[in-house]
Amino acid sequence: MLNPLNFLNRLFVKRLPAYVERGVSAVPGGRRLLNFLKSVTHYVMRSKNPLLQLFYLALVLGGYAIFLVRLLPHVPGNGILGPIHAYTSHMAVAFIMYTFYKASVVGPGNAFDVKHANCYAYDGFLYVHRDCRTCHKRKPARSKHCALCQTCVPRFDHHCPWINQCVGEDNYRWFLLFIGWNALFLTYASYVLGAILLWITVEQKLWSMQYTHRPSGKIVSASWQIVFQYMMAGFGLEMCLLVLCAVMAVVMYGFLGYHLHLIFENTTTNESEKWGGVEDYYRWLKNNPKEESSIKRESEVIRPDFPKALEDRKDEEFPETMPTNAYELGSYYKNLMEVIYPRSTTHAEAAATAAQPEKTKRKKKSAKKTR
């Protein structure tokens, strides 16, 4: 379904990179630079490697080290922060490491495992009875083959280089917890860092001091601008850390909001991109009703990023009106519970419970025979 989030996603993922590529190519030597950047981007973003995981650990642990050495001594006796923050700060870092570990270690699942079979029905539009072109096996509904992980992922969302694996049915809840806690952690870190740095200005009486304006030699009173310049000179690394935490908190809340929106519609990043292309096609079809029979030819011209999953469909497979999402359960609570308790897990537990009475009967029969 077309919405502002889909538009922004396609704008920053597809269209803006294409515009940048054209602009750089037009500059002398730009093609060589572009090829180099593409090779680096391909290795970092489109191949399985731990670079972004290591970068993330460097950011978190490096920032934590700065906090321990330079800022933690200012927490006791702080007139803004309570002494409890000397302990809760360590707990927050420990929990963010835990969520990162779980999101990186718990796999998305294999679509061909028994527990993932028949979890979702084919909707007859985005998903039909077809074999994976790489695995040569029947693909379950909502699954997709990941070229990086070399496997078909159940309820595929996207491949995340920050955890160096795909996000799918089995680990989506851990991924959601990871980005959610990152947003909260960055908010908390911004508050703690800001309170400590503000208290330093109070401790050193920076607001009541007078300063010399070097160009003119005049004595001036303290102002926000002067105190900020003083703090940047004496605590530049800590000030940059505060800005980084605040900016990244906003980014993470946006990313979290996007995924909560996907849960609200019971769709995935992969499906959302497909629906965006489908809605564009139906909008085009509405404006060009006479061209209904030339879907493949026109889609290449009018809609070059038409969903690849639908490009090989026959014309008659497209209904006259745009279909709705068959996997939406009717309430946000139910959609959220499906993420927290994946269908593969609940189906496996139900199968084990159903098999338990049969096992009990067999044990009783074997006991009678022994007697």
Q: Are strands 144-146 and 218-221 parallel, antiparallel or unpaired?
A: unpaired
Sign of CA dihedral 131, 132, 135, 141: negative
CA end-to-end distance (rounded Å), the chain: 66
Give the active site residues.
Answer: 160
Neighbours of 287 (CB within 10 A): 9
The type of residue at 207 is: W
Comparing C-alpha atoms, which of 151, 148, 158, 155 is closest to residue 179? 158
Helix (H, G, I), strand (E, B) or coil at 159: strand
| DSSP string across 171-208 | THHHHHHHHHHHHHHHHHHHHHHHHHHHHHHHHTTTTT
The type of residue at 284 is: W
Q: Are 202 and 231 in contact (CB under 8 A)?
A: no
Neighbours of 139 (CB within 10 A): 21
Neighbours of 227 (CB within 10 A): 17
Q: Are 149 and 166 in contact (CB under 8 A)?
A: yes
Residues in the chain: 371
